[in-house]
Amino acid sequence: MDAARCSVEYLSEFSDCQSHSVRIIQDATTLFFTRGDRDVLIFDAQERRVTTVMQFDASVINLELSEDKHRLFALCANGVIYSTLIPPPQFSSSSVLANKTPDSMLYIVPDDSIVLKNASLQAFTIVKKILVTLSLQKSIWSFDLYEEPGSRTLHKLASFQVLTLNTHLNITGKDKSVSSPPVLTCIYPEGSTSGSTRQSDLHPHLEPGLFRLLFGVDTSLVNSPVILCGLPDGRICCFPLFVPTLAGPNEEQRSPVRVLQSLEQPVVFIGTCISGELGPQCLVAVGQKGKLLMVKSKQANLEGKKADYSFNEHSVQGPVLCVCVDDKWMFYSSITDLHALQLTTESSSSTGAEAQLQALTSYSLGVYRVIALAGPYTNSTGSMKLLAVSLSGKLLCVNLPQGSENGNVARLPSFLAGQRVKDLLASIANIWERAESLKHKLQEKNESLKRLNQVINVCSLLLDKHGNEKACNVGKLPISCRGVTRWSSLLQRDSLTLTCVLENSSGCTLEHGWTLCIQVHPLSKGPNMEGSSMIYSFPFKKLDSGQKLDVTIPLESTCGLSLPVKVHCSLDFSLSALFSPEASSPDVSQLLTEVGSISAPLSTLRVDWLDALRLERSFSLGNIGHNTVTDGIQAFLRSRGVLTKDPDITTKSGPITVMVRVSSELLKTKLNLSATSSQEMCVSVLNWLVSPEATGRQSPVICAYSPDGCSVKLLVKEVTLGDFCSDGPLEVLEIQVESTSVAAVCGLHHAILWRLQVLLRDSDVKCGRTKQLKAQSLFEAVRHVESLFKDLQDAQNQAALGGTMKMNKNLEILFRIFLQLRANPLVIL
């Protein structure tokens, strides 16, 4: 066996297993397998599939088949033993809830299958229709014998106790568990089993001579099976199943349980091996730390000594997780390898001490992380196989190498040795190339996962920002985008541009694949504004933490400059950037085309007439147009989506003035102004409206140019209203806009009102008590608005009649109403 390698087949794969709770039972080609959870899987080795899943109420820790192999006994972690008929693959009843896979069905074990409840149960076995259980109660091991459940109530036949050795146990406060589960098995005398005596039977047996020497003449005469138990403290206890208990000198009942030997370490396996003419000639016990005990018989010699037995101890590589035996081989697994131990030597036929001193030979099979074994068994072709379960949940079929009687394989002819070496070298080279390819693919996947992790981190930062807007407003955002408007001149043509600054203040790096997307959406509804939104994309290679990215876009579209506009900024990531072009398979490429990209919103900006004011003196003459009142009205109506024809008449142009009045106390509180004088407050409010970053301005008056080239004057002054409030004079700030362009006056007035609305909506600061207004001033304001509303209705009725002259008259009426509404505005308190 050391000259050849075993081959491994993967039969199936399940989830990860618990090393101390995996149990596997083989019956011909059917496997009963539990991973330490609630399910018992019935696996067909020929079809290589799970046919039935039996589900219990709690985790299964032990399994046993009845002697007729028609019933399955299971011990669960809650101390309940179930006895249920094994459902055939085509099983169908009301207990079948659903198919877990197309090839397997789920069978819920009913509660009427419970035969015994005992929270302190540790192990059990079924022998000759007798249920033998082992429990731990108050530092006492208790062996209880019950008549196998049938139609009658469960009946206890006998009970035997053994004191524990507490120094070797890890017992909980309620004696529910031990550090290592006990091993409970049954040894039959030769001839008591029906049918074959192969080691694949459910219970091992011994040849009659050794059985009589170990367990007594009485046990041998009545042909009684013997229960052997390997306790966690290392003791191997035994007692016959059918021999009655004996009476002591004081006629007290003596327990038939006796200690056969102690391994001084938890027992993992008890079985028989080394078959002779009358049956197996050796009792084998294996400890968790690697101690191997072999009990053999000594034949009578010429000197007249009686036959006896000997205890031979050996050591194997530990820790030992699981064991199975054949006639001459023992297979055991440490966590690092699966070993084959030859239990016989060339001089095994010798007698006396010579046979005891022979060293055992162990071979490595090269299979790792095996935690459960079943077999070995011989298939129809004559090859030996082992069934194994790995720690990762794989069900393996290990094909053992076949050799001569002593385990050695015949050597190859010399003329084939060179060719075999060449083939092996070629195989090694091929495997190396495949390993390098797999390593390269693994590195690519790791890099893709790193990039995906970065993308998820960035999206999490942005989602946290939008989920906690108030918290983010207090401090600096980790990833932000802000905008600044500027006028630029090219070929004697002035245009308004927006510079967006993307700043990365987070700990993440925006790598290749990210794109800054800016969408410009006009808010005005003109005749040619349908579908006028523009989208600009700026991909970048890398933006480290602390770096900034500046991009500039024009705000003037093919329809001209339309204010105000909304600017939506977002970060988009293309999923195709996760993979290198040569690494992406066609399936991945198809998936990416369906998914697209990830879009994370950054911020929404607004650009209005206040942002578009030109504070400098220089501008291109080509941008100055005619600014009559009629032209201004037409421009204003077109910006609101009202189609008008060009009138033939021309109204005299003149400056137009509108104003907004706000309580001085309100603005001072909302803007946190520390100004002491009236002029300082006016200058601060004007800077807040036009250019918050401006410093050093001393005058509360700004003269600028509107986007259409008309001169604009903004003035902030403080006035006192004496008859407006009942509490006394009220100090208000009056914000005035003056220009010859109606469009500029309307746009600036709307921008001022929007800024005040945002200030009052977003601020959490509350002012003092509510002002008490005079009723007379409110009545006058209401009457004034009602009269203007009546004039507006009259103008609408006249417009319904049509006509160019009436249209021009309506324009003048509308313009007069507009001026009167803004000449005497209400006060924002």
pLDDT in tens, 69-82: 888 999 999 999 99
pLDDT in tens, 703-712: 988 887 888 9
> How far is the C-alpha of 513 from the C-alpha of 574, rounded, in Å?
6
Model confidence at 461: pLDDT above 80: yes
- Among the listed residues 374, 395, 370, 386, the one whose alpha carbon sits nearest the alpha carbon of residue 19: 370
Please say whether the beta carbons of 425 and 417 come within 8 A. Answer: no
Q: Compare 470 and 230 and report the one with higher pLDDT.
A: 230
Q: Which of 52-56, 201-205, 586-590, 723-727 has the lowest mean pLDDT?
A: 586-590
What is the bridge-based pairing of β-strands 183-189 and 205-206?
parallel
Return all residues near 400 (Cβ < 8 A) that are at least 6 apart.
1, 6, 340, 365, 376, 383, 384, 385, 386
Q: Compare 39 and 779 and report the one with higher pLDDT.
A: 39
Q: Is the dihedral of CA 18, 19, 23, 24 positive or negative?
A: positive
pLDDT of residue 171: 44
pLDDT band at 192; cut points 50, 70, 90: very low
Please say whether the beta carbons of 66 and 87 come within 8 A. Answer: no
Q: Which of 186-200, 740-754, 760-774, 808-822 has the lowest mean pLDDT?
A: 186-200
- Among the listed residues 322, 326, 323, the one whose alpha carbon sits nearest the alpha carbon of residue 378: 326
CA angle 59–60–61, rounded 5-degree value: 115
Structure tokens at 16: 């990860």
Mean pLDDT of 654-674: 85
> How far is the C-alpha of 35 from the C-alpha of 54, rounded, in Å?
12
pLDDT in tens, 107-156: 899 988 899 999 999 999 988 888 999 999 888 999 999 987 664 567 88
Structure tokens at 440: 């390269």
> How far is the C-alpha of 50 from the C-alpha of 104, rounded, in Å?
6
Q: Which of 14-28, 42-56, 89-103, 521-535 has the lowest mean pLDDT?
A: 89-103
- Among the listed residues 205, 193, 181, 202, the one whose alpha carbon sits nearest the alpha carbon of residue 65: 202
Residue at 266: amino acid letter:
P
Model confidence at 340: pLDDT above 70: yes
Beta-bridge mates of residue 549: 502
Can the peptide bond before residue 825 be classed as cis, meaning omega within 30 degrees of 0? Answer: no
Q: Which of 160-164, 378-382, 585-589, 711-715 has the lowest mean pLDDT?
A: 585-589
CA dihedral 353, 359, 360, 364 (to 10 degrees): 180
pLDDT of residue 433: 87
The dihedrals phi and psi of 808, each to the nearest 5 degrees, come to -65, -40
Please say whether the beta carbons of 162 and 143 come within 8 A. Answer: yes
First to last CA, the chain: 98
pLDDT of residue 413: 60
Tokens 């055939």 sit at which residue? Answer: 88
Backbone φ/ψ region at 519: left (φ over 0), alpha (ψ -120 to 50), beta: beta
Q: Which of 48-62, 158-172, 233-247 has the lowest mean pLDDT?
A: 158-172
How far CA 721 is from CA of 665, 670, 718, 738, in Å, comes to 14, 21, 10, 22
Q: Compare 29 and 167 and report the one with higher pLDDT.
A: 29
Mean pLDDT of 14-29: 77
Please say whether the beta carbons of 458 and 479 come within 8 A. Answer: yes
Please say whether the beta carbons of 271 and 375 come within 8 A. Answer: no
pLDDT of residue 179: 65
Residue 568 DSSP SS3: strand
The dihedrals phi and psi of 791, each to the nearest 5 degrees, come to -65, -35
Q: Which of 190-199, 318-327, 593-602 has the lowest mean pLDDT?
A: 190-199
> How far is the C-alpha of 681 from the C-alpha of 87, rounded, in Å?
90
Mean pLDDT of 326-344: 87
Order across the sheet with 548-554: list the strands: 479-490, 493-504, 548-554
Structure tokens at 57: 């109420």
Q: Which of 208-217, 248-257, 672-681 has the lowest mean pLDDT?
A: 248-257
pLDDT of residue 780: 74
Predicted TM-score of the model (pTM): 0.49
Mean pLDDT of 773-778: 66
Return all residues near 663 (Cβ < 8 A) that are at least 6 apart.
730, 731, 732, 733, 771, 827, 828, 829
> How far is the C-alpha of 694 from the C-alpha of 676, rounded, in Å?
19
Tokens 């304001």 sit at which residue? Answer: 781
Residue 660 DSSP SS3: strand
pLDDT of residue 550: 93
> How far is the C-alpha of 272 from the C-alpha of 270, rounded, in Å?
7
Burial 604-632, CB ≥16 within 10 A → b, else e: ebbbbbbbbbbeeeeeeeebeeebbbbbb
Mean pLDDT of 505-532: 79
Q: Which of 93-102, 413-422, 691-700 has the lowest mean pLDDT?
A: 93-102
How far CA 652 is from CA of 626, 630, 647, 663, in Å, comes to 12, 8, 14, 35
pLDDT of residue 226: 93
DSSP result, 710-769: -EEEEEEEEEEESSSBTTS-EEEEEEEEEES-HHHHHHHHHHHHHHHHHHHHH-----SS
- Among the listed residues 718, 712, 722, 766, the one whose alpha carbon sits nearest the alpha carbon of residue 744: 712
> How far is the C-alpha of 301 from the C-alpha of 304, rounded, in Å?
6
pLDDT of residue 293: 93
pLDDT of residue 350: 44
The dihedrals phi and psi of 47, each to the nearest 5 degrees, come to -80, -15
Model confidence at 783: pLDDT above 60: yes
pLDDT band at 56; cut points 50, 70, 90: very high
pLDDT band at 415; cut points 50, 70, 90: low
Q: Which of 374-383, 454-463, 514-523, 617-626 has the lowest mean pLDDT?
A: 617-626
Average pLDDT of the chain to the nearest whole number = 77
pLDDT of residue 3: 42
pLDDT band at 473; cut points 50, 70, 90: very low
> How far is the C-alpha of 557 from the C-alpha of 535, rounded, in Å?
11
pLDDT of residue 501: 93
pLDDT band at 806; cut points 50, 70, 90: low
Return all residues near 281 (Cβ < 8 A) that are at least 6 apart.
206, 207, 210, 274, 275, 296, 297
Model confidence at 528: pLDDT above 50: yes
Return all residues near 308 (Cβ < 8 A) that are at least 6 apart.
213, 297, 298
Q: What DSSP state is assigned to residue 541?
A: S
